[in-house]
Amino acid sequence: MTATLTRIRQRDWRRLSRHQLFWPLLILAALLLFNLPFTPNFFSIGVRNGHLYGSLVSILYFGTVPILVALGMTLVIATGGIDLSVGAVMAISGAIACRLISHATDQNSVSLVFTAMALALLAALAAGLFNGLMVARAGVQPIVATLILMVAGRGIAQLITSGFILTELSRPYAVVGGYAAAVPTGLFIVVGFVAITAVLTRRTALGLLVESVGGNAEASRLAGVRAQRIKLMVYVFCALCAGVAGLWNSSSLGGADANNAGLWIELDAILAVVIGGTPLTGGRFSIGGTVVGALILQTLKTTIFTIGIPAQANMVFEAVVVIVICLLQSTDFRRRVGRLVRLPRPPRQRQAPPGELADAGHGPAIASVSQESVEATS
Amino acid sequence: MAEDSPVLQMTGISKQFPAVRALSGVDFRLFPGEVHALLGENGAGKSTLIKVLTGVYELDEGTVELDGSPVRVTSPHHAQQLGISTVYQEVNLCPNLTVAENIFLGRERTTGPVVRWRRTRREAAALVAGFGLDIDVSAQLGSYPLAIQQLVAIVRAVDLNRVDGAAGTKVLILDEPTSSLDQDEVEVLFGVIRRLKSAGVAVLFVSHFLDQIYRVCDRMTVLRNGRMVGEHLVANLDRVGLVRLMLGRELRQLEELREHERAGSGEVVLRAAGLGRRGSIAPFDLDIGAGEVVGLAGLLGSGRTELARLVFGADQADSGELTVAGETVSHRGGPQATIARGVAFCPENRRAEGLIPELTVRENVMLAMQAARGWVRPVPRETADRLVAKYIAALDIRPADPEAKAGSLSGGNQQKVLLARWILTSPKLLVLDEPTRGIDVGAKAEIQKLVVSLADDGVSVLYISAELDEVLRLSDSIGVLRDRTLVAKLANGPDVTADQIMHTIASGAQP
């Protein structure tokens, strides 16, 4: 009786632990719980000055930029590319918006704010188009193509701000990076973008085509997929996400700092994508994974702050935790550790041995048999 | 030879994978100086046996004796130390390094930390010459055709053990070494195999080409469903007997395949007039009628693939005109332009250019149709499921699981997935480049039957195969290529023979 129960539980456990989001979510939960001894009211959410207040709220609040940028990055990485220019694009978009607003006579004009934001996003789209054309049409390697704008883009942003830190005092613009109906506006933006991305990729065929281009670009082209167009689209989308993140960032700061806006965000975004389970080699991607990945990183930053790690040790501590997270995500590593301490077994490959699958001629038939029988027994 | 004691004796080998018994009680032996074929359909256990022998897998039961003493092979590296070398179907060398560097990779000729390049090159040149090959060892490996790369892999494998005064290679395993070689290259490889044989090396030869087995092998062992079903001297077992042994049933499919009757309709589906691409294929004229099967014959590198790629628009033509179903296709249109007019293409290199390995069977099958509809109009999931289920059943794709990763399927099943992908789009012309290469006899026959039935339904087929028999059996007319030129077009009939085509390939003239 108990034997059967444990067997059922084992099977459920294995199915659960095989889910794409299992490890990212587990890590996120562990990180959140880790805060409890240091900050007893970590999970409480209150209202102060008419907005929501609490550690979780602040994680979500500051998570806006990383989640948005990582979202666009996910699709780029899924096509086998990478976009290093997101930080620079953030700076450009923030600089344009702040310049237009700060030079206006009536900073509180709603139409002015909308115009400024529209122009900023247009500039972001142009940057994305440049990246996309370089990669898809000119055939420049993504890392090189986007490196151009990563460096030049920040220069452009400085030209726009004339080298100063531009401050603006617009009340309507402050809403973007502030609160709407007690809830951080960034949360609405993020939820909206995540929903749009999910619908765009999973309700249309875009996701399949992106994954097929990332999985095998030449095979996709020969199957009639417009691989160039798909690549162009993802870079434009990625730049749009970065542009919106730039608006949020400048609005929440009340100004544009061309030097520091979105600095190193590309690395956080790439890390979030990878932690979320999308391989850097392209192919399969997970939007939910990316969101959780970005939240993990943001929670980690908050944790470092709340448990009082000395400022000079911040970077090292963060690096160590990220390494541990990456190791935990590695099936191979978990298998080795699992062998040592007999912890929850990592998901087993359904097919028997990995070598068998790589073999062109003979093995897969065996693997297929094993798959059938796995299904027969379950 | 048979009186000698075997250099390798495997007894009662069993290997159990979590859900399947891959080998049960297999006996296998190899004598020095013999070429021994290991035969069986896909999934019979050939790969597993080789991987047990080379230490990739640990065996569950049974013993392996090398030169009479029991050994336990723990890793591929250990296998090499013992004198068991392997050359795989896909060349596992670095194309960006020189031939000499590849041969000595991992055991460079050094004095202290300094690599002695001149000595490396000299020794490599001597080794290569010893195999009767005339190649420049300081040229990049990638600059040579696949065949030469394969031979370099053999040179490397055989030499691996001569370092540090070890005994040298006792057993050389060649896993499908000829699947990408043309006739001449196969000859060179056979020359090398005979040389090794006379040097007393035992060669284990795996191939799908029965002709080659009968030409070069002395003995064969046949596996079926993980069991050894026979060990015979090649001279004592004829082909029919061998095929019967492999399949365990009468193989009627291949013989029963009806000779395709010429489609009489005059409608031209595809017309290429002076179509060509510099450095790839000389301008050619080609008409393909509705329901007509046009076979392309020629040696590897003769321009067969290049011709097919131009017709499909995979490469951009720089001269001539391509007309599909009466419409002129722009050279700049790429595959989309030809696909839109009803051309479909299964490339020669399934893994690199056909399949998206990490996507599922369902996604791979739906890809072409979805690409044609554009991303805004997804095929509804229920429709996709229904279509995929239908084609999985119709083409007998195994496992019959639409959610299986396409990359985990066997070669034959991968080919069927690609065929399903295109048949789904109801093409007018199907361009098939080596659709049966490297797949087992049963799947081969099924694919050939499928081609015939498609042609009966009015689909035109451009069929490329290195096997002349296959081209002869399926085609209504045959285009012969030589040196990147379409040299002859023959109407197929009972009087056209393989000899005649070979003659055309050799002489390049209209007969």
Reply yes or no on whether the pLDDT at B422 is more than 90. yes
* Cα–Cα distance, B14 to B22 (Å, whole number): 7
Pick the CATH number of B268-342+429-511 from 3.40.50.2300, 2.60.40.290, 3.40.50.720, 3.40.50.300: 3.40.50.300
Question: What pLDDT was estimated at residue B301?
Answer: 67
Confidence of residue A360 (pLDDT cuts 50, 70, 90): very low
CATH (residue range B8-252): 3.40.50.300
Reply yes or no on whether the pLDDT at B184 is more than 80. no
Question: Cβ distance A136 to A234 under 8 Å?
Answer: no
A-chain residue closest to B349, CA distance? A219
DSSP assignment letter at B142: G
pLDDT, one tens digit per residue, over B305-327 is: 999 999 999 999 999 999 998 89
> Strand runs (DSSP E) across B378-417, as ranges?
none
- Cα A338 to chain centroid distance, Å, stands at 29
Question: Cβ distance B100 to B120 under 8 Å?
Answer: yes
Partner residue facing B43 (CB), from A223, A353, A362: A362
- How far are the Cα atoms of A67, B162, B198 from residue B170, in angstroms, in the given order? 59, 11, 12
Question: What pLDDT was estimated at residue B45?
Answer: 83
- How far are the Cα atoms of A54, B88, B309 from residue B204, in angstroms, in the given order? 70, 12, 36
Mean pLDDT, rounded, for B217-226: 89
Chain B hits for A363, CB-CB cut-off 8 Å, are 43, 47-48, 410
* Cα–Cα distance, A159 to B479 (Å, whole number): 64
- How far are the Cα atoms of B165, B177, B250, B293, B350 from residue B470, in angstroms, in the given order? 48, 20, 20, 12, 19
ipTM: 0.79
pLDDT, one tens digit per residue, over B463-497 is: 998 777 788 888 999 999 887 889 888 888 777 87
* Range with the poorest average pLDDT among A221-230, B61-70, B179-188, B424-433: B179-188
Decide if B353 and A370 are in contact by the 8 Å CB cutoff.
no
Chain B hits for A20, CB-CB cut-off 8 Å, are none
Question: What pLDDT was estimated at residue A270?
Answer: 94
Question: What pLDDT was estimated at residue A221?
Answer: 93
- What mean pLDDT is reported for chain A? 85
Reply yes or no on whether the pLDDT at A132 is more than 50. yes
- How far are the Cα atoms of B54, B61, B183, B218 from residue B29, in angstroms, in the given order? 15, 16, 30, 13
Task: Annotate B74-88 with DSSP letters as a single string.
Answer: -SHHHHHHHTEEEE-
Backbone angles phi, psi at B220, to 5 degrees: -140, 150
Q: Is B247 on the interface with A (CB under 8 A)?
A: no
Give domain limits for chain B.
Answer: 8-252, 268-342+429-511, 354-426
* Cα–Cα distance, A147 to A142 (Å, whole number): 8
> Strand runs (DSSP E) across B31-170, as ranges?
35-39, 61-66, 69-71, 84-87, 110-111, 114-115
pLDDT, one tens digit per residue, over A103-113 is: 888 889 999 99
Decide if B356 and A363 are in contact by the 8 Å CB cutoff.
no
User: Based on C-alpha coordinates, what's the Rg of chain A?
Assistant: 23
Question: Cβ distance B195 to B133 under 8 Å?
Answer: no
Confidence of residue A359 (pLDDT cuts 50, 70, 90): very low
Decide if B56 and A351 are in contact by the 8 Å CB cutoff.
no
pLDDT, one tens digit per residue, over A69-83 is: 999 999 999 999 999
- How far are the Cα atoms of A21, A104, A152, A301 from residue A166, in angstroms, in the given order? 41, 13, 19, 27
Q: How many residues does this entry show for chain A?
A: 378
Tell me how many residue pairs between chain A and chain B have CB atoms under 8 A apart. 177
Question: Cβ distance B418 to B354 under 8 Å?
Answer: yes
Confidence of residue A120 (pLDDT cuts 50, 70, 90): very high
Decide if A361 and B438 are in contact by the 8 Å CB cutoff.
yes
Q: How many residues does this entry show for chain B?
A: 511
Q: Within the 222-241 window of chain A, which residues sit less than 8 Å (CB to CB) from chain B? A: 222-226, 230
Helix axes A185-198, A227-253, angle to 10 degrees: 170
Question: Cβ distance B56 to B26 under 8 Å?
Answer: no
pLDDT, one tens digit per residue, over B62-72 is: 999 998 889 99
Reply yes or no on whether the pLDDT at A68 is more than 90. yes
Confidence of residue A127 (pLDDT cuts 50, 70, 90): very high
Question: What pLDDT was estimated at residue A121?
Answer: 97
Partner residue facing B42 (CB), from A203, A355, A362: A362
pLDDT, one tens digit per residue, over B75-103 is: 888 888 888 888 887 677 888 999 999 88
- What mean pLDDT is reported for chain B? 84
Q: Is the dihedral of CA A361, A366, A371, A375 positive or negative?
A: positive
Chain B hits for A206, CB-CB cut-off 8 Å, are 375
* Cα–Cα distance, A280 to A267 (Å, whole number): 13
Confidence of residue A1 (pLDDT cuts 50, 70, 90): low
B-chain residue closest to A200, CA distance? B376
A-chain residue closest to B22, CA distance? A366
Reply yes or no on whether the pLDDT at A62 is more than 50. yes
Task: Annotate B478-505 with DSSP letters as a single string.
Answer: EEEEETTEEEEEEE--TT--HHHHHHHH
Question: What pLDDT was estimated at residue B429?
Answer: 95
The answer as to whether A351 is a domain residue is no
Confidence of residue B442 (pLDDT cuts 50, 70, 90): confident
Question: Cβ distance A284 to A210 under 8 Å?
Answer: no
pTM for the whole thing? 0.74
Q: Is A351 on the interface with B (CB under 8 A)?
A: yes
Question: What pLDDT was estimated at residue A356?
Answer: 38
Question: What pLDDT was estimated at residue A330?
Answer: 77
Q: Is A14 on the interface with B (CB under 8 A)?
A: no
Confidence of residue B105 (pLDDT cuts 50, 70, 90): confident
The total number of structural domains in chain A stands at: 1
DSSP assignment letter at B316: -
* Cα–Cα distance, B356 to B353 (Å, whole number): 8
pLDDT, one tens digit per residue, over A302-356 is: 888 888 888 788 888 888 888 888 888 777 888 888 777 665 554 444 444 443 3
User: Is it true that B8-252 and B268-342+429-511 share their CATH fold?
Assistant: yes
Decide if B438 and A360 are in contact by the 8 Å CB cutoff.
yes
Structure tokens at B322: 């391509």
Burial B283-321 (b: 16+ CB within 10 A, else e): bbebebbbbbbbbbbbbbbbbbbbbbbbbbbbbebeebe
Q: Is B38 on the interface with A (CB under 8 A)?
A: no
The answer as to whether A84 is a domain residue is yes
For the domain that residue A286 is a member of, what is the CATH number?
1.10.3470
The answer as to whether A147 is a domain residue is yes
* Cα–Cα distance, A121 to A123 (Å, whole number): 5
* Cα–Cα distance, A6 to A12 (Å, whole number): 10
Q: Is B210 on the interface with A (CB under 8 A)?
A: no
Chain B hits for A225, CB-CB cut-off 8 Å, are 367, 371
Q: What percent of chain A has pLDDT over 90?
A: 58
Confidence of residue B2 (pLDDT cuts 50, 70, 90): very low
Q: Is B46 on the interface with A (CB under 8 A)?
A: yes
* Cα–Cα distance, A30 to B304 (Å, whole number): 59
List the domain range (segments joined by +) for residue A149: 51-308
B-chain residue closest to A283, CA distance? B358
